[in-house]
Amino acid sequence: MIKPHGSDTLNPLYVEDDAKRAGLIKEAAGLPSIVISSAAAGNAVMLGSGYFNPLTGFMNKADAMAVAKDMHMANGFFWPTPVLSMVKDASAIKDAKRIALLDPNVAGNPVIAIQDVEAIEEYTDGEMKEMTESIFRTLDMDHPGVNAFNTVGKIGISGPIQVLNYSYFDKEFPETFRTATQIRDEIGKLGWETVVAFQTRNPMHRAHEGLTKMAMEAVNADGAVIHMLLGKLKKGDIPADVRDAAIRKMVELYFKPNTCLITGYGFDMLYAGPKEAVLHAVFRQNMGCTHLIVGRDHAGVGDYYGGFDAQTIFDDITKDDLLIDIYRGDHTAYSKKLKKVIMMGSVTDHTKDDWVFLSGTKVREMLAAGEDLPPEFARPEVAKILMGYYQSEANK
Helix (H) / strand (E) element for 120: namely strand 119-122
What pLDDT shows up at residue 83? Answer: 98
> Active-site residue 201, yes or no?
yes
From the CB of residue 219, how many other CB atoms can be counted at a distance below 10 Å? 16
Residues 200, 285: one domain? yes
Q: Which long-range contacts (CB under 8 A, 24 or more apart) does 99-102 make?
A: 99/31, 99/32, 99/33, 99/34, 99/157, 100/28, 100/29, 100/31, 100/32, 100/33, 100/34, 101/33, 101/34, 101/36, 101/40, 101/41, 101/44, 101/161, 102/33, 102/34, 102/35, 102/36
CA separation, residue 218 to residues 46, 205, 211, 373 (Å): 30, 20, 10, 29
Residues 233, 193: one domain? yes
Instruction: Dump the DSSP string for 161-208.
Output: EEE---TTHHHH-TTTB--HHHHHHHHHHHT-SSEEEEEESS---HHH
Helix (H) / strand (E) element for 134: namely helix 125-136
Residues 320, 335: one domain? yes
SS3 of the chain: helix, strand, coil, percent, to 5 = 35, 20, 45
What pLDDT shows up at residue 274? Answer: 98
Residues 139, 281: one domain? no
Of 201, 248, 328, 364, the active-site residue reads: 201
Of 147, 202, 248, 328, the active-site residue reads: 202
What pLDDT shows up at residue 374? Answer: 92
Rounded distance, CA 327 to CA 216, Å? 10
Amino acid at residue number 24: L
Residues 136, 224: one domain? no
What pLDDT shows up at residue 359? Answer: 80
Assign residue 191 the CATH number of its domain.
Answer: 3.40.50.620
* Assigned domain for 11 exists: no
Boundary (domain end) residue, out of 148, 170, 192 = 170
pTM value is: 0.95
Residues 375, 262: one domain? yes
Whether the CB-CB separation of 229 and 244 falls below 8 Å is answered with no
Estimate the crossing angle of helix 380-394 against helix 240-254, to 10 degrees: 160
> Active-site residue 202, yes or no?
yes
Q: Which domain holds residue 283?
A: 176-394
Rounded distance, CA 72 to CA 66, Å? 6
What pLDDT shows up at residue 202? Answer: 87
Amino acid at residue number 78: F
Residues 208, 147: one domain? no
In the 8-state DSSP scheme, what is residue 326? E
Assign residue 42 the CATH number of its domain.
Answer: 3.10.400.10
What is the tens place of the pLDDT at every residue in 379-395? 999 999 999 998 988 88
Among 302, 324, 298, 301, which Cα is nearest to 312's? 298
Residues 140, 239: one domain? no
Boundary (domain end) residue, out of 131, 147, 170 = 170
Boundary (domain end) residue, out of 170, 188, 214 = 170
Residues 85, 234: one domain? no
Helix (H) / strand (E) element for 245: namely helix 240-254
What pLDDT shows up at residue 364? Answer: 83
**Residues of the chain falling short of pLDDT 50:** none
Name every residue whose Cβ is closer than 8 Å to that of residue 279 and which is 6 or more positions away in sequence: 80, 81, 270, 272
Instruction: Specify the number of domains making up the chain.
Output: 2
